[in-house]
A and B are shown apart, each in its own frame.
Chain A
C-alpha cells in the first residue's frame, strides 16, 4: 500500500480556542519559526467542511513547510467552534474572519498577510480584502453569491436523502427551497438551514472588483488570484462521490498555487523572501 504523502518535517501545529464575541472559535496555527508571510485560510461551509478537511489540512502543512505561517479555523457554530449554527448570521461569520485576520496581521505587521478562501470562505475573504484587510488574495472557486454555494449542497443532500423513495415520498429540491422561502427551517447534512440563512445568502455577494482578476489587481493594486477549481480538486470542491475511497493527489494543484503565491510574495522556490523585499 502506498503511504499518504504527509509532511515529513512535522512542524508544530497549535490548536486552540480563540475568544470572539459570544463564542470561542476553534483555530489551528501551523507555526513556522521564521515565517516569510502569514496566511489565513477560510474554508468551505458547514457540511462541506468535512469533505474538504483532508486536502485543506494538507494545503496548510504544504504552505508551512515553505515558510508561510498558516491559521485555519472553524466557522462559528460549525465543527469544533462554539455557537449554534442556526443562530449565526453571515455577518457574524464575516466579522469572525476579520477578527482572526487582524490578530494574525498583528503578530508581525511587517510580514505580508495572505487571505485564501474556498467557496463561501472565498466570498468572506474577498469581502474582508475589499475592506482593506490583507496584502495578497487567493480565492478558490468563489461563487457570485453565497446562495450559489448553498444550492449544490442542497441538491446533493436531496439526491442522497431520497434514494429508494418513490412517488409522493420523493420531494424535489425546489420543495425544500419553498419551505425555507415560506419561513421554515430544513435539515441539510446535519445542519439546520433557516429561512434567514437562505434569505441572507442572496445578499452575501462577491465585491464587484473581484469579478475579474485583472480588474481586481488594478483596483486594489495588490496581487489577486481567482482560481476556479475543477474535478482535480475534489473533494475540496463538490463533485464525485461524497465519500471518496481513492487517494487523491493534490501536488499539482498545490504546486501551481504555490508558484503564483511565491511570485506574489517575491519569494524564491524554497520560500525565502527575495532580498529586495
Chain B
C-alpha cells in the first residue's frame, strides 16, 4: 500500500489530542508550488471527508486542477479520524465544538505545506465549524459556505404524529394547501415579532459571522433553494436568515451570496457538484490570484464546460437557469 498517488496524498495530523485523517489533492502539474493559498474542505454532519455522493472528492480534485492545493480532513469522531468527542455530535458542532480543532488544523496545514493561508469550504455543519474557526484563526483567509444553518437543531426530536403529518403535507395536495395556510399564520407571527431572529437561532454563530464578515473576510455564500421558497425569499413564515446575515455583515463586508438553482442541500446532485466547482473557479482567482491563476481558470472553465456537456448532458437539472444573485456586497 502506498500513501501517495499522482494526484492525491494521504496524511494524518495530531490535533487537539486526536489523530485526524486527511487527503491532500496535489495541484495540477506545472501549478505545484506556484500558489500559496489552499482550500480545506469540511463535510456536513455526519459525513466522512468524501462528503455526500463523494462531492468533496469531486470539488477537491477540480480545485487542485485549478492550482489550489486542496485538503479534505475528517474532524475528530468522524470518518477515519479518532478523538474523544461528545456523542451528540450535531449539538456539539452547532455549539462550535470544533472551533479550536479546525483552527489548529488550518495552522498545521499552512505550516506543513508552506502555504500563506487557507480558505475553508464547509457544507452545512462543516460550514458552522468553518465560521467558528475563521473567527479565531489568523491563517484562514476566506470562507466558502454551502447552506450553513444559522438555527440550532431541535432539542427534542419531533413526535411520530408530527413527522407523519409533515410527510402527509408533502405528499397530498390538500395537505399542501393546509400547510400553506399554516405558513401564513407563521408569517403573521413573524411580523408581530418584527422579523426578529427566532429563539432557536444560533446566536454564538451569528456573533462569529458578524465578527468575520464585517471585518471584510472574503466569503462566498452558496445556498440551495429551500422547499416552498420563491424569488430568493424563504418559505412564508420562515425567518430570512440570508437577509439577516447580509445585514449583519455590514457595508464593508466582502460577502457574495448566491442561490444555486437545481442544487439540493448536500450539493451532491449533478447541478450542485458542477455549479459549486464553477463558482469557486470564478471566485478564488478574484480574491486569491496567483501567477498563472487566470490562465488556469480559463483552461479549467473550458474543460469544465466540455466535461459538463459529456457528463451531465442528459440531466435536466444542469439545463436549469443559472443562479440568481442574492446580493453582492463589496
Docked CA distance A10–B5 (Å)? 27
The answer to whether A247 touches B88, judged by C-beta atoms less than 8 angstroms apart, is: yes
Total interface residues on A, CB under 8 Å, equals: 45
Q: Convert A37-80 into 0s and 1s, putting 1 for each residue whose CB lies closer than 8 angstroms to a CB of B.
A: 00000000001001001100100000000000000000000111
Does A230 reach chain B (CB closer than 8 Å)? no
Q: Which residues in chain B, 163-200, are within 8 Å of chain A measured between CB atoms?
A: 170-171, 173, 176
Q: How large is the interface on B (under 10, 10 to 19, 20 to 34, 35 or more residues)?
A: 35 or more
Docked CA distance A139–B235 (Å)? 46
Q: Which residues in chain A, 210-250, are within 8 Å of chain B measured between CB atoms?
A: 243, 245-247
Distance in Å: Cβ of A9 to nearest Cβ of chain B: 11
Distance in Å: Cβ of A124 to nearest Cβ of chain B: 20
The answer to whether B50 touches A50, judged by C-beta atoms less than 8 angstroms apart, is: yes
The answer to whether A190 touches B87, judged by C-beta atoms less than 8 angstroms apart, is: no
The answer to whether B77 touches A161, judged by C-beta atoms less than 8 angstroms apart, is: no
Which chain B residues border A187 with CB–CB below 8 Å?
269-270, 315
Query: Which of B82, B228, B266 touches A190 (beta carbons < 8 Å)?
Result: B266
The CB with the most chain B CB atoms within 10 A, among A7, A163, A167, A184, is that of A163
Distance in Å: Cβ of A163 to nearest Cβ of chain B: 5
Residue of B nearest to A19 (CB): B2
Q: Which residues in chain A, 115-170, are within 8 Å of chain B measured between CB atoms?
A: 161-164, 166-167, 170
Which chain B residues border A16 with CB–CB below 8 Å?
1-3, 10
Distance in Å: Cβ of A187 to nearest Cβ of chain B: 6
The answer to whether A4 touches B90, judged by C-beta atoms less than 8 angstroms apart, is: no
Which chain B residues border A28 with CB–CB below 8 Å?
80
Residue of A nearest to B82 (CB): A6
The answer to whether A2 touches B80, judged by C-beta atoms less than 8 angstroms apart, is: no
Docked CA distance A16–B4 (Å)? 8
Which chain B residues border A196 with CB–CB below 8 Å?
none
The answer to whether B5 touches A24, judged by C-beta atoms less than 8 angstroms apart, is: yes
Which chain A residues border B153 with CB–CB below 8 Å?
245
Which chain B residues border A1 with CB–CB below 8 Å?
86-88, 91-92
Which chain B residues border A78 with CB–CB below 8 Å?
54
Query: Which of A3, A54, A164 touches B46 (beta carbons < 8 Å)?
Result: A54
Does A13 reach chain B (CB closer than 8 Å)? yes
The answer to whether A17 touches B85, judged by C-beta atoms less than 8 angstroms apart, is: no
Query: Which of A2, A164, A166, A189 touches B53 (beta carbons < 8 Å)?
Result: A189
Does A201 reach chain B (CB closer than 8 Å)? no
The answer to whether A17 touches B82, judged by C-beta atoms less than 8 angstroms apart, is: no
Distance in Å: Cβ of A45 to nearest Cβ of chain B: 13
Does B151 reach chain A (CB closer than 8 Å)? no
Docked CA distance A205–B80 (Å)? 31
Which chain B residues border A27 with CB–CB below 8 Å?
1
The answer to whether A17 touches B2, judged by C-beta atoms less than 8 angstroms apart, is: yes
Distance in Å: Cβ of A119 to nearest Cβ of chain B: 18
The answer to whether A15 touches B269, judged by C-beta atoms less than 8 angstroms apart, is: no
Residue of A nearest to B154 (CB): A245
Q: Convert B1-45 into 0s and 1s, putting 1 for each residue whose CB lies closer than 8 angstroms to a CB of A.
A: 111110010101000000101010000000000000000000001
The answer to whether A190 touches B268, judged by C-beta atoms less than 8 angstroms apart, is: yes
Which chain A residues border B86 with CB–CB below 8 Å?
1-4
Which chain A residues border B2 with CB–CB below 8 Å?
16-17, 19, 24
Distance in Å: Cβ of B326 to nearest Cβ of chain A: 21
Does B55 reach chain A (CB closer than 8 Å)? yes
A78-B54, A187-B315 are known contacts; what are 7 more A-B pairs with Cβ within 8 Å? Answer: A1-B88, A4-B77, A4-B84, A16-B3, A28-B80, A166-B173, A185-B314
Interfacial residues, chain A to chain B (CB-CB below 8 A): 1-4, 6-7, 10, 13-19, 24, 27-29, 47, 50, 53-54, 57, 78-80, 82, 85, 161-164, 166-167, 170, 184-185, 187, 189-191, 243, 245-247
Interfacial residues, chain B to chain A (CB-CB below 8 A): 1-5, 8, 10, 12, 19, 21, 23, 45-48, 50, 52-55, 57, 77-80, 82-92, 153, 157, 170-171, 173, 176, 227-228, 264, 266, 268-270, 273, 314-315
Give me 28 A-to-B residue pairs in the complex whose CB atoms sit less than 8 angstroms apart, sorted by A's number.
Answer: A1-B86, A1-B87, A2-B88, A3-B85, A4-B87, A6-B84, A7-B82, A10-B19, A13-B80, A16-B2, A16-B10, A17-B1, A17-B2, A24-B5, A27-B1, A29-B1, A53-B48, A79-B54, A80-B50, A163-B170, A166-B176, A184-B314, A189-B53, A190-B54, A190-B268, A191-B53, A243-B46, A245-B157
